[in-house]
Structure 1
Amino acid sequence: MPKARHSRLQTKLLQGINALAKDAQLTYAFFELRCTFGDRSLVPDIAVFSWERIVFDASGEPVDDVQQAPDWVIEILSPQQSPNRVAGKLLHCL
């Protein structure tokens, strides 16, 4: 589980991305969103999708089950995390 500095950095990055791109409907960044694709599910620290790739329901809300790879994945490597495992997640997204 993320610790304080990890969570703080994650929040700042997500808020910065959304502050610049959300209102213009360019992209939207999500915290720890489960993305299922290629017979595998990943939960990156931040998943960013271009606006036109976000699937919305009838009420205009993003659908809960995301069945595609994000356009941009941000992983914050904590000291106790394996760099190889994080790199593997990033490679799967590519």
Structure 2
Amino acid sequence: MLTTEQLTLQDFLRLPRIEESPAWEFVEGKAEQKTMPTLHHSMLQKRLTALIDRLNSPYEAFPELRCTLSNSSVVPDITIVHRDRIPLENTAIAGAPDWTIEILSPEQSTTKLIAKIQTCMREGTQLGWLIDSSEQVIMVLFPDLRVTLCQGSDRLPTLPDISLDLMAEQVFDLLRAPQ
């Protein structure tokens, strides 16, 4: 669902029901409700979040956590932020996530997800993953606009303070292996 009226970020954040499931986002001046996740999407989201949180790092991973940027409000599938950026009050993350992970569902637009990751990168995100389970590929985006496609035994880059040695194929194995 997409709104056609012109909104500001402040107007959007005052709208009722933006936290309904699935949540609403505001990117490039447009409010749009996220797509309802598929089973594979939910499994990857749940298992990757748990995997990242089990690491001894100064970061925490959150599923579906709102991040309020200067002109956008996004809800990445997985938001990874440094612990010192987590607010004490029950609010959205102020600013872009340090690392954002999006999981492509069949009815989603790859282009829109790339644009959302790039919006976050323009505001400080250090790393973005776009996971496509149907193609078994992970698109890795960097702030310098470099894009790398990882598949099979390709090692996935993470943030410097995160010790996660993970190959692309291991991410997709999460869809098969009970956790």
TM-score normalised per structure 1 = 0.84
1:40 counterpart residue number? 72
RMSD: 1.3
- How far did 1:66 drift? 2.0
Q: Percent identity?
A: 43
Deviation readout 1:24-79 (Å, 9 max, x if unpaired) = 5x10111101111121100110000011222224xxxxx32322110000000112
| Pairing of 1:1-94 with structure 2 (within 5 A) | 1-21=36-56, 24=57, 26-57=58-89, 63-94=90-121
- How far did 1:89 drift? 0.5
Check whether the contact 2:65–2:92 (CA below 8 A) recurs between aligned residues. Answer: no
Unaligned runs of 5+ in 1: 58-62
Higher relative contact order (CA 8 A, sep 6+): 1
Unaligned runs of 5+ in 2: 1-35, 122-179
Larger helix percent: 1
Show structure 1 runs of 4+ deviating over 2 A: none
For the pair shown, the structure with the greater C-alpha radius of gyration is 2
Aligned length: 86
Letter in 2 for 1:49: V
